[in-house]
Protein backbone atom coordinates (compact mmCIF):
# COMPACT_ATOMS: atom_id res chain seq x y z
CA UNK A 1 0.00 0.00 0.00
CA UNK A 2 1.22 3.48 -0.85
CA UNK A 3 2.08 5.95 1.89
CA UNK A 4 -0.08 8.46 0.07
CA UNK A 5 -3.81 8.57 0.70
CA UNK A 6 -6.28 10.71 -1.24
CA UNK A 7 -9.50 12.26 0.06
CA UNK A 8 -11.51 13.61 -2.84
CA UNK A 9 -14.62 15.77 -2.76
CA UNK A 10 -17.53 15.06 -5.13
CA UNK A 11 -19.74 18.08 -5.95
CA UNK A 12 -17.86 20.74 -7.91
CA UNK A 13 -14.72 18.58 -7.84
CA UNK A 14 -15.49 15.25 -9.53
CA UNK A 15 -18.59 16.79 -11.07
CA UNK A 16 -18.19 20.22 -12.62
CA UNK A 17 -21.19 21.74 -10.86
CA UNK A 18 -22.64 21.43 -7.39
CA UNK A 19 -25.42 18.87 -7.79
CA UNK A 20 -27.33 20.04 -4.73
CA UNK A 21 -27.63 23.52 -6.26
CA UNK A 22 -28.75 22.00 -9.60
CA UNK A 23 -31.35 19.85 -7.82
CA UNK A 24 -32.67 22.84 -5.87
CA UNK A 25 -32.94 24.99 -9.01
CA UNK A 26 -34.94 22.27 -10.73
CA UNK A 27 -37.08 20.77 -7.95
CA UNK A 28 -37.20 22.82 -4.74
CA UNK A 29 -40.09 24.90 -3.45
CA UNK A 30 -39.29 28.61 -2.92
CA UNK A 31 -36.78 29.54 -0.22
CA UNK A 32 -33.75 27.49 -1.22
CA UNK A 33 -31.68 30.45 -2.43
CA UNK A 34 -31.76 32.16 0.97
CA UNK A 35 -30.70 28.92 2.68
CA UNK A 36 -27.87 28.39 0.19
CA UNK A 37 -26.58 31.93 0.85
CA UNK A 38 -26.65 31.29 4.59
CA UNK A 39 -24.64 28.07 4.15
CA UNK A 40 -22.03 29.70 1.90
CA UNK A 41 -21.60 32.69 4.21
CA UNK A 42 -21.33 30.22 7.13
CA UNK A 43 -24.28 31.81 8.95
CA UNK A 44 -25.79 28.36 9.50
CA UNK A 45 -23.96 25.00 9.81
CA UNK A 46 -23.87 22.87 6.65
CA UNK A 47 -25.67 20.03 8.40
CA UNK A 48 -28.64 22.26 9.24
CA UNK A 49 -28.62 24.00 5.85
CA UNK A 50 -28.64 20.84 3.73
CA UNK A 51 -31.44 19.38 5.84
CA UNK A 52 -33.46 22.59 5.37
CA UNK A 53 -32.79 22.58 1.61
CA UNK A 54 -34.11 19.05 1.11
CA UNK A 55 -37.12 19.76 3.32
CA UNK A 56 -38.17 21.90 0.33
CA UNK A 57 -38.16 18.89 -2.02
CA UNK A 58 -41.04 16.37 -2.23
CA UNK A 59 -40.00 12.74 -1.65
CA UNK A 60 -42.16 11.65 -4.58
CA UNK A 61 -39.60 13.22 -6.94
CA UNK A 62 -36.82 10.77 -6.00
CA UNK A 63 -36.62 8.85 -9.29
CA UNK A 64 -37.02 12.01 -11.33
CA UNK A 65 -34.14 13.65 -9.43
CA UNK A 66 -31.82 10.66 -9.99
CA UNK A 67 -32.61 10.72 -13.70
CA UNK A 68 -32.01 14.47 -13.80
CA UNK A 69 -28.63 14.29 -12.02
CA UNK A 70 -27.40 11.45 -14.24
CA UNK A 71 -28.12 13.63 -17.29
CA UNK A 72 -27.04 16.92 -15.79
CA UNK A 73 -23.84 16.01 -13.92
CA UNK A 74 -20.74 16.50 -16.02
CA UNK A 75 -17.66 14.64 -14.82
CA UNK A 76 -14.42 16.64 -14.77
CA UNK A 77 -11.86 15.70 -17.42
CA UNK A 78 -9.36 13.02 -16.49
CA UNK A 79 -11.33 11.56 -13.57
CA UNK A 80 -11.45 8.08 -15.01
CA UNK A 81 -7.65 8.15 -15.60
CA UNK A 82 -7.13 9.46 -12.09
CA UNK A 83 -9.04 6.52 -10.59
CA UNK A 84 -6.99 4.13 -12.73
CA UNK A 85 -3.76 5.83 -11.66
CA UNK A 86 -4.56 5.52 -7.93
CA UNK A 87 -5.43 1.83 -8.41
CA UNK A 88 -2.17 1.13 -10.23
CA UNK A 89 -0.18 2.89 -7.53
CA UNK A 90 -2.12 1.26 -4.69
CA UNK A 91 -3.15 4.67 -3.40
CA UNK A 92 -6.30 4.55 -1.29
CA UNK A 93 -8.88 6.87 -2.87
CA UNK A 94 -11.69 7.89 -0.56
CA UNK A 95 -14.59 9.94 -1.85
CA UNK A 96 -15.75 12.28 0.91
CA UNK A 97 -18.84 14.17 -0.08
CA UNK A 98 -21.39 16.50 1.39
CA UNK A 99 -23.70 15.16 -1.31
CA UNK A 100 -26.45 12.64 -0.73
CA UNK A 101 -26.22 8.88 -1.35
CA UNK A 102 -29.18 8.63 -3.75
CA UNK A 103 -27.44 10.73 -6.42
CA UNK A 104 -23.73 10.34 -5.51
CA UNK A 105 -23.71 6.55 -5.92
CA UNK A 106 -25.45 6.41 -9.34
CA UNK A 107 -23.10 9.08 -10.77
CA UNK A 108 -19.95 7.34 -9.48
CA UNK A 109 -21.07 3.79 -10.29
CA UNK A 110 -19.42 3.61 -13.75
CA UNK A 111 -16.04 4.64 -12.26
CA UNK A 112 -15.93 2.36 -9.21
CA UNK A 113 -15.49 0.40 -7.13
CA UNK A 114 -13.92 2.89 -4.71
CA UNK A 115 -12.18 2.20 -1.41
CA UNK A 116 -15.13 3.91 0.14
CA UNK A 117 -17.67 6.61 -0.59
CA UNK A 118 -18.56 8.71 2.45
CA UNK A 119 -21.64 10.88 2.03
CA UNK A 120 -24.93 11.82 3.63
CA UNK A 121 -28.07 9.73 3.34
CA UNK A 122 -31.66 10.45 2.36
CA UNK A 123 -34.94 8.77 3.25
CA UNK A 124 -38.15 9.22 1.30
CA UNK A 125 -40.87 7.91 3.60
CA UNK A 126 -42.12 11.33 4.65
CA UNK A 127 -43.71 13.94 2.38
CA UNK A 128 -40.39 15.80 1.95
CA UNK A 129 -36.88 14.36 1.64
CA UNK A 130 -35.21 13.77 5.02
CA UNK A 131 -31.39 13.92 5.33
CA UNK A 132 -29.33 11.85 7.78
CA UNK A 133 -25.70 12.19 8.76
CA UNK A 134 -23.93 8.89 9.41
CA UNK A 135 -20.49 10.58 9.33
CA UNK A 136 -21.03 13.45 11.75
CA UNK A 137 -18.25 15.39 13.50
CA UNK A 138 -16.02 13.69 16.05
CA UNK A 139 -15.13 15.51 19.29
CA UNK A 140 -11.98 16.97 17.71
CA UNK A 141 -13.77 18.81 14.90
CA UNK A 142 -13.71 22.53 15.57
CA UNK A 143 -16.70 23.28 13.32
CA UNK A 144 -19.31 20.80 14.65
CA UNK A 145 -22.19 20.69 12.20
CA UNK A 146 -20.27 19.70 9.04
CA UNK A 147 -22.83 17.07 8.08
CA UNK A 148 -20.40 14.69 6.43
CA UNK A 149 -17.35 15.65 8.52
CA UNK A 150 -14.29 15.39 6.31
CA UNK A 151 -11.63 15.99 8.99
CA UNK A 152 -13.26 13.33 11.22
CA UNK A 153 -13.14 10.82 8.35
CA UNK A 154 -9.50 11.70 7.69
CA UNK A 155 -8.59 11.11 11.33
CA UNK A 156 -10.37 7.76 11.26
CA UNK A 157 -8.77 6.50 8.04
CA UNK A 158 -5.24 7.83 8.12
CA UNK A 159 -2.47 8.94 10.43
CA UNK A 160 0.31 11.52 10.50
CA UNK A 161 2.85 9.09 9.04
CA UNK A 162 0.92 9.11 5.77
CA UNK A 163 0.87 11.83 3.15
CA UNK A 164 -2.72 13.00 3.22
CA UNK A 165 -3.90 14.66 0.04
CA UNK A 166 -7.18 16.58 -0.13
CA UNK A 167 -8.83 17.50 -3.44
CA UNK A 168 -11.72 19.93 -3.26
CA UNK A 169 -13.44 23.11 -4.32
CA UNK A 170 -15.52 24.60 -1.56
CA UNK A 171 -16.20 25.72 1.97
CA UNK A 172 -16.93 22.13 3.03
CA UNK A 173 -13.36 21.11 2.16
CA UNK A 174 -11.65 23.78 4.18
CA UNK A 175 -11.39 21.92 7.50
CA UNK A 176 -10.06 18.89 5.63
CA UNK A 177 -7.52 21.09 3.84
CA UNK A 178 -6.17 22.32 7.18
CA UNK A 179 -5.45 18.73 8.16
CA UNK A 180 -3.89 17.74 4.83
CA UNK A 181 -0.22 17.55 3.84
CA UNK A 182 -1.06 18.43 0.26
CA UNK A 183 -4.07 20.48 -0.85
CA UNK A 184 -5.27 20.39 -4.46
CA UNK A 185 -7.86 23.11 -4.83
CA UNK A 186 -10.00 25.10 -7.19
CA UNK A 187 -12.62 27.80 -6.95
CA UNK A 188 -13.72 28.89 -3.46
CA UNK A 189 -11.34 26.50 -1.66
CA UNK A 190 -8.38 27.90 -3.60
CA UNK A 191 -9.38 31.49 -2.76
CA UNK A 192 -9.84 30.60 0.91
CA UNK A 193 -6.48 28.82 1.15
CA UNK A 194 -4.83 31.80 -0.53
CA UNK A 195 -6.44 34.24 1.90
CA UNK A 196 -5.45 32.19 4.95
CA UNK A 197 -1.96 31.26 3.77
CA UNK A 198 -2.57 27.53 3.50
CA UNK A 199 -0.28 26.08 0.82
CA UNK A 200 -2.16 24.54 -2.10
CA UNK A 201 -1.84 23.70 -5.78
CA UNK A 202 -4.55 24.82 -8.15
CA UNK A 203 -6.18 22.26 -10.46
CA UNK A 204 -8.59 22.39 -13.34
CA UNK A 205 -8.64 18.76 -14.52
CA UNK A 206 -7.84 15.40 -12.94
CA UNK A 207 -4.86 15.16 -15.27
CA UNK A 208 -3.45 18.04 -13.19
CA UNK A 209 -4.21 15.98 -10.07
CA UNK A 210 -2.29 12.97 -11.43
CA UNK A 211 0.81 15.14 -11.88
CA UNK A 212 0.50 16.67 -8.42
CA UNK A 213 0.00 13.31 -6.69
CA UNK A 214 2.83 11.73 -8.71
CA UNK A 215 5.21 14.31 -7.29
CA UNK A 216 4.44 12.93 -3.82
CA UNK A 217 5.34 9.31 -4.65
Q: What residue ranges bind Zn ion (CB under 5 A)?
A: 137, 141, 143, 146, 149
Rounded to a whole number of angstroms, the minimum distance from the CB of residue 1 to Mg ion is 27
Taking the CA atoms of 200, 178, 88 and 85 in sequence, report the sign of the dihedral they define: negative
For Zn ion, which is the closer residue by CB, 45 or 78? 45
Residues that bind Mg ion (CB under 5 A): 9, 11-13, 169-170
Residue 158, binding choice from Mg ion, Zn ion, none, Cβ under 5 to 8 Å by partner class: none
On the question of a cis peptide bond just before residue 113, with omega within 30 degrees of 0, the verdict is yes
Which positions ≥6 away from 64 have C-beta within 8 Å?
27
Residue 141, binding choice from Zn ion, Mg ion, none, Cβ under 5 to 8 Å by partner class: Zn ion
Tell me the C-alpha distance between 209 and 206, whole Å.
5
For Zn ion, which is the closer residue by CB, 47 or 86? 47
Rounded to a whole number of angstroms, the minimum distance from the CB of residue 199 to Zn ion is 22
Tell me the C-alpha distance between 132 and 121, whole Å.
5
Tell me the C-alpha distance between 130 and 82, whole Å.
33
Residue 9, binding choice from Zn ion, Mg ion, none, Cβ under 5 to 8 Å by partner class: Mg ion
Rounded to a whole number of angstroms, the minimum distance from the CB of residue 145 to Zn ion is 7
For Zn ion, which is the closer residue by CB, 179 or 213? 179
For Mg ion, which is the closer residue by CB, 11 or 175? 11
Tell me the C-alpha distance between 6 and 78, whole Å.
16
Angle separating helix axes 46-54 and 19-27, nearest 10 degrees: 30
For Zn ion, which is the closer residue by CB, 116 or 156? 156
Residue 149, binding choice from Mg ion, Zn ion, none, Cβ under 5 to 8 Å by partner class: Zn ion
For Mg ion, which is the closer residue by CB, 12 or 137? 12
Rounded to a whole number of angstroms, the minimum distance from the CB of residue 34 to Zn ion is 24
Which positions ≥6 away from 172 have C-beta within 8 Å?
9, 46, 98, 146, 147, 148, 150
* Beta-carbon count within 10 A of 140 CB: 10
Rounded to a whole number of angstroms, the minimum distance from the CB of residue 200 to Mg ion is 15
Residue 169, binding choice from Mg ion, Zn ion, none, Cβ under 5 to 8 Å by partner class: Mg ion
Rounded to a whole number of angstroms, the minimum distance from the CB of residue 41 to Zn ion is 18
* Beta-carbon count within 10 A of 204 CB: 11
Amino acid sequence: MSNVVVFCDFDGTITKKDNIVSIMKQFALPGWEEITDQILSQKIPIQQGVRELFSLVPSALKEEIIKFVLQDAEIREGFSDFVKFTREQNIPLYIVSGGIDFFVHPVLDPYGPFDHIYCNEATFDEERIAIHYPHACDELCTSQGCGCCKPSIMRKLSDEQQTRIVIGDSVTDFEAAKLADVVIARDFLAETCEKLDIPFTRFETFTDCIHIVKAQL
